[in-house]
Chain A
Amino acid sequence: MSAFLLRRVLRLLVTLWVIVSVVFLTTRLTGNPIDYLMPEGMDAEGRAAMIAYWGLDGPIVDQYLLFWRGLVQGEFGLGLMERRPVLEIFSERMGRSVGLLSLALLATVCIGVPLGVLAAIWRERAVGGWLLLVAFLGYAIPNFVLAILLLLLFSFTLHWLPSAGAATPAHYVMPVATLSAYFIAALVRYTRNAMLDVLGQDYIRTAHAKGLAPSVVLIRHGLRNALIPVVTVLGLQVATLVSGAVVIETVFAWNGMGDLLVGATLRRDYPVLQFGVLIVAGAVVSVNMLVDLAYAAIDPRVRLA
């Protein structure tokens, strides 16, 4: 187990190193922040002075080494645009984004899995068909379209829910619903299919024959086995969830992390971008590791070796 963990952590670190290095190099190859951040009308002398002031005047290898030295020492630098510590910039925005993602993930699991099980049980009844149809719609509708439809209905027309910002719990309702809709729909379909596979197995018939209560058969023998592919899918969807959040944050004026990263990319704000990528990539890679660990918890046959 510990050898497994060690190996996974090592692999995680290598993955992060590759991702961050690629971002470091590609952003520097595609433009200089001076062209995006400074006012028009700077002469060559002014440009050179600002580039030096930002610490971007040395050879790229030196900058790369400096960047890693900073990372190791926990010094993430100043954002070029706002000229204040990157950590401070992120700390203002991260809470909201993490809140949005966690609630969306929670909603996905708490709604998607039970509905998927129900859809499997009711596979021959009309209500099961309706569930699948709704799931299909949730799967097919792009999140920004759904966001605008909800805004039009609940804010623009009915005035029930606030549309911009993240100040109160009411502000979370539409963004969480919009972001999780696609993933709930996906999870309903995956869970249903996995359950149908499992429920056709011999050991389910055996369990019924033993005289176990139907609910016990369904949960302990059925769902537990069905969850393995479901968890795999969920792990893969986390990265998609993060990119979905970028769109949702813009539509609902959240001024969150996604919005920050898009802005930093467009303006080549290297320190903000690098730190942001490190955080997002770190989160996605960590979730994938947790998924592997979850296999073992769900299925004792999986050995972490």
Chain B
Amino acid sequence: MKLHHAFAAALLATTSAVSAQELKVGVQNMAPWLDPGRDFSNVGSQFYINTFEPLVGKDHTSAASVWQPGLATEWKIVSPTVMELKLRPGVTFQNGDPLTAEDVAFSLERIIKAAFPPYTVRKRDTLPNLAAIEIVDPQTIRVIATKPEPLFETLMNTQQTMIVSKRYITGLAGKPGVLADADYEAFALKPMGSGPYRVSQFIPNQKLVWERFDGYWGPKAPFARVTVTRIPELSGRITALKNGEVDLITNVPPDQLSVLEGDKAVKVEGMVTPLFHVVIFNTQNPKMADARLRRALSLAIDRKTLNEALWQGKAVVPTSHSYPQFGALYMPELNTFEYNPAEAKRLLKEAGYDGFPIRFDTAAAYYTNGLLAAQAIQEMWAAVGVKSDIKVDDKWTGGDADMMARNWSNPMYFPDPTGSFGIMWAPTGNSATEGRFKPTAEYTAVWERFRYSTDLAARKLAYSELMTMIRNDPPVLPLYQPYESFAMRANIAWKPLPGHIPYVLDFRAGRIAQVAR
């Protein structure tokens, strides 16, 4: 049996090595710049895995977090606030420079000691607890936290902590050797890392070309060249795939799958994405101050019907702000969110809702089915007697004091509730920063207990308390985890993996193959 597997693997390896020269990909959006440290968008996150690497690696085929050696070969938690990592020897960047402890310290400190505003945001939402990086010797570094840190491995595996080159970045703009904000901006246009593909051409908002990095320390990239082109229109992407102009396309909504079925030359792979489309409420708008009103608005939304109508039932409606990727901290049993129109009506009456219209903001096309969902929600609110006005604008209104409700997404940035709920709803998270959510002293205390306990049971208990508070005084309702489909030529063996953050296009060795037919 084992021999059989090995044979199959060897066969796959040979066929891909022989035939795989160029892969052509059509994406809906291309990033305007590429810097893993400051990027938080769903567009950029598609690309980093092929060019950059974090210190701690991960088995991306598994939803649960299985850590593996990355740019660090081993590590230990020296004390609750100190992690020590041994760097992999002999790693070089794509420009030939060796990857050193200095680079590691530089990469992490550009965020945790940030002066450039885009990094400051990441410091606050992703790495607020990290204080400093210590170089012990040329192969050993220490990450120092302020409070006890239960998530060292998780944090050293994020996209934001991928390692970049100090010498390369400081030499890009202005005086060589002197670091300036302009260096970071130049880097974002000429990204360079230590991963298996080097960026050979990057035209912002249009095109990205990777070439195999022959000096890569690990298994060599399966393709000599990968070209990623922006094809903004869905019909354009589907036509380009059917016409053989591209091998793989992204962002195929569920209602288009039937167009591709029945064509033997193409196939579809999909996955429920670790990301929630959500409705948020501005708790600080005086008109929205009454928690009963927000609870009623939440209870009035029939998410199961939304899923069936908009996603053909392929999306997943969550019971709480929780993903299977959280492992032991996955807690669907919390039942934080439910559909109960009768209770909604009762609460509205109790709150004395007088029929004023709720402003619901949505971008025109940013979230798949976002506008349709907003229109359906408007009807669902009308069914319990709530009036609403939909305001369509691509502008982000999360910090607008007059905003009352809007759609948003809560992606999983790393596999812990901190990396999804926390990024958005922690006392230092985006929502509190932008002023639409004001955590109480009690909430903050429970959050601290959840975030920095090193005891799993204590963390689970604290998270359930947080969810109860969110239920009783809701700032957010997760609608569903969307189902994302990718279509490809039939000879491409690729699929999205559950161990990645949303939308990642992983083209590294063992993750994609072109099968000779």
Contact = CB atoms under 8 A, between A and B. Distances in A.
B229 interface: yes
B13 interface: no
Given A83-B185, A164-B229, A43 B395 contact: no
B342 interface: no
B327 interface: no
A116 to B, nearest CB: 33
Contacts of A41: 121, 124-125, 398, 429-431, 433-434
Nearest to B364: A266
Contacts of B206: 92, 255
Most buried by A among B237, B242, B245: B245
A255 B433 CA distance: 36
Contacts of A162: 240, 243, 245
Contact of A251 (B207, B236, B408): B236
Most buried by B among A159, A165, A250: A165
B240 to A, nearest CB: 4
Interface string B342-382: 00000000000000000000000000000000000000000
B26 A82 contact: no
Interface string B232-248: 11011111101111100
A156 B205 contact: no
Contact of A156 (B188, B243, B394): B243
A166 to B, nearest CB: 11
A253 B33 contact: no
Contact of B433 (A42, A50, A81, A82): A42
A40 B118 contact: no
B41 interface: yes
A46 B245 CA distance: 43
Contacts of A84: 189, 204
A35 interface: yes
Interface in B400-454: 408, 429-431, 433-434
A50 B229 CA distance: 30
Contact of B230 (A42, A92, A163, A253): A253
A151 B239 contact: yes
Given A159-B243, A163-B239, A53 B121 contact: no
B98 interface: no
A83 to B, nearest CB: 5
A242 to B, nearest CB: 19
A266 B393 CA distance: 9
B203 interface: yes
A237 interface: no
A163 B433 contact: no
A49 interface: yes
A49 B117 contact: yes
B398 A252 contact: no
B231 interface: yes
Contact of A253 (B117, B189, B240, B433): B240
A31 interface: yes
B117 A50 contact: yes
A82 B471 CA distance: 41
B261 to A, nearest CB: 15
A46 B189 contact: no
Given A49-B117, A253-B229, A163 B240 contact: yes
Interface in A8-64: 31, 35-36, 38-43, 46, 49-50, 53
Nearest to A162: B245
Interface in B309-358: none
Contacts of B394: 36, 266-267
A252 B230 CA distance: 11
Interface in A64-115: 81-84, 89, 92
B32 interface: yes
Interface in A141-185: 148, 151-152, 155-156, 159, 162-165
Interface in A252-293: 252-253, 255, 259-260, 263, 266-267
Nearest to B394: A266
Given A83-B188, A84-B189, A164-B229, A46 B120 contact: yes
Nearest to A165: B229
Nearest to B424: A41
Contacts of B231: 164, 253
Given A36-B396, A41-B434, A46-B121, A263 B205 contact: yes
Contacts of A260: 205
Contacts of B430: 40-41
B240 A40 contact: no
A164 B243 CA distance: 10
Nearest to A269: B32
Contacts of A38: 118
A254 to B, nearest CB: 10
Interface in B168-216: 181, 185, 188-189, 203-207
Contact of B236 (A40, A89, A164): A164
A251 B233 contact: yes
A165 B235 CA distance: 14
B453 to A, nearest CB: 25
Interface in A216-275: 250-253, 255, 259-260, 263, 266-267
Contact of A35 (B207, B238, B395): B395
Contact of A148 (B229, B235, B243, B408): B235
B40 interface: yes
A43 B32 contact: no
Contacts of B233: 250-251, 253
Contacts of A46: 117, 120-121
B117 A155 contact: no
B205 A82 contact: yes
B395 A163 contact: no
A129 B108 CA distance: 74
A250 B124 CA distance: 38
Contacts of A156: 238-239, 242-243
Contact of B121 (A42, A251, A259, A263): A42
Contacts of B431: 41
Nearest to A161: B243
Contact of A159 (B244, B396, B399, B429): B244
B245 to A, nearest CB: 5
Contacts of A92: 203, 206
Contacts of B246: 164
A35 B396 contact: yes
Given A155-B242, A159-B243, A165-B229, A40 B398 contact: yes
Contacts of A49: 117, 120
Contacts of A50: 117-118
Contacts of B230: 253, 255
Nearest to B243: A155
Contacts of B41: 39
A255 B207 contact: yes
19 contacts: A39-B41, A40-B430, A41-B430, A42-B433, A43-B124, A49-B120, A50-B118, A53-B181, A83-B185, A151-B236, A156-B243, A159-B244, A163-B236, A164-B239, A165-B229, A253-B240, A255-B207, A260-B205, A267-B394
Given A82-B33, A159-B244, A251-B236, 9 more contacts: A40-B408, A41-B434, A43-B434, A53-B117, A148-B235, A155-B239, A156-B239, A164-B246, A253-B26
Q: Which 10 A-B pairs have the closest CB atoms?
A: A41-B430, A253-B231, A82-B204, A164-B240, A163-B239, A255-B206, A49-B117, A155-B243, A83-B185, A46-B117
